[in-house]
């Protein structure tokens, strides 16, 4: 149990570092997303054979429509998030991205027919106030397109929220059986766009960009996802929900230490409101789910 928690903490820090790698890769966001989808899916397929957990087409087939739709959303989600990293600070992009659970919470009564409790309403309002704080700070991004970066970050959050909701409709598939097709469909969805915009000539990349692309695909996606999904089998939902917030916190700390990115006081308040409200809602949701299971 202790080893699993340590592994999950390290994976969350790893996920929090992806913005640093994306910034340093001399490729377009769509090219990075394509490489991540291809390399990540290949790594997970290999892992399924090594771990003797073969993918079952019989279980995948009934979920194919949802897997295609969510895979396309994942591809677009990556592109939007990587664009956000380039136009605003990694901290701001990450905080905007973590608005996704709030969007999913807001849409759940409409799509999933879930009841919106008082705690959820308070969390939504707090997160919206936090987003106002984030967007009311003027130009503080990497270049002169801070608000464009925020827009990309919110766009990524909307897409991630849609993925969260679609995943609730998946039935009788393992984490590997859902993730491998999703990554594959993400790559297939991005491929036409990349080809239309000049293709992907890897020979034109410098050695550093190639190395970082491989790291993002193999380490951040393949190995990272494998450890993350493995933790689901050994830890409670409440523990995983709590540990998942190491990701945005580490992203903010790393960008501050390594890139010297700064946040204004109002941005810090906004970040606390968004991350705090989503943290409370996730803990509340996972705790309620565990109570229902025990009953």
Can you give the pLDDT at residue 119? 85
Low-confidence ranges of the chain (pLDDT < 50): 141, 292-295
Can you give the pLDDT at residue 239? 82
> Mean of the per-residue pLDDT values for the chain?
89
d(CA 159, CA 155): 6
Q: At CA 205, angle to CA 42 and CA 219, rounded to 5?
A: 35
Total-model pTM: 0.89
Check if the beta carbon of residue 235 is closer than 8 Å to that of residue 3: no
Q: Comparing C-alpha atoms, which of 248, 295, 241 is closest to residue 274?
A: 248
d(CA 134, CA 127): 10
For the chain, helix (H) and strand (E) counts, in that order, are 15, 0
State the greatest distance between any 2 C-alpha atoms of the chain, in Å, as a whole number.
59
163-179 pLDDT, tens per residue? 999 999 999 999 999 99
d(CA 48, CA 222): 11
CA dihedral for 79, 83, 86, 91, sign (positive or negative):
negative
Q: Comparing C-alpha atoms, which of 109, 92, 93 is closest to residue 160?
A: 93
Check if the beta carbon of residue 164 is closer than 8 Å to that of residue 69: no
Tell me the CB-side half-sphere exposure of residue 254, using CA atoms within 13 A: 19
Instruction: Tell me the two tokens of residue 71.
Output: 């895979």
Can you give the pLDDT at residue 230? 85
Can you give the pLDDT at residue 293? 43
36-67 pLDDT, tens per residue? 999 999 999 999 999 999 999 999 999 999 99
Can you give the pLDDT at residue 289? 57
Check if the beta carbon of residue 221 is closer than 8 Å to that of residue 40: yes
């Amino acid at each position: 149990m202790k080893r699993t928690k340590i592994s999950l903490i390290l994976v969350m820090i790893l996920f929090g570092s992806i913005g640093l790698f994306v910034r340093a890769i001399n490729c377009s966001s769509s090219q990075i997303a394509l490489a991540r989808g291809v390399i990540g899916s290949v790594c997970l397929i290999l892992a399924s054979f090594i771990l003797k957990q073969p993918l079952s087409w019989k279980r995948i087939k009934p979920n194919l429509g949802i897997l295609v739709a969510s895979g396309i959303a994942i591809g677009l989600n990556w592109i939007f998030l990587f664009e956000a990293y380039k136009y605003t600070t990694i901290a701001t992009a990450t905080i905007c991205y973590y608005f996704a659970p709030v969007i999913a919470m807001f849409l759940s009564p409409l799509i999933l027919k879930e009841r919106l409790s008082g705690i959820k309403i308070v969390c939504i309002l707090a997160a919206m106030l936090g987003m106002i704080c984030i967007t009311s700070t003027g130009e503080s991004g990497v270049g002169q397109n801070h608000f464009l970066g925020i827009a990309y970050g919110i766009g990524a959050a909307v897409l991630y929220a849609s993925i969260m909701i679609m995943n609730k409709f998946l039935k009788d598939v393992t984490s590997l059986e859902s993730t491998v097709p999703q990554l594959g469909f993400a790559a297939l969805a991005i491929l036409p766009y990349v080809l239309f915009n000049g293709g992907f000539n890897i020979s034109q990349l410098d050695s550093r960009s190639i190395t970082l692309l491989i790291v993002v695909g193999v380490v951040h996606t393949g190995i990272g996802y494998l450890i993350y999904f493995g933790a689901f089998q050994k830890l409670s939902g409440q523990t995983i929900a709590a540990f998942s917030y190491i990701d945005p916190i580490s992203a903010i700390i790393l960008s501050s230490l390594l890139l010297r990115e700064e946040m204004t006081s109002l941005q810090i308040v906004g970040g606390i409101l968004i991350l705090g409200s989503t943290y409370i809602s996730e803990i509340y949701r996972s705790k309620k789910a565990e109570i229902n299971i025990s009953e």
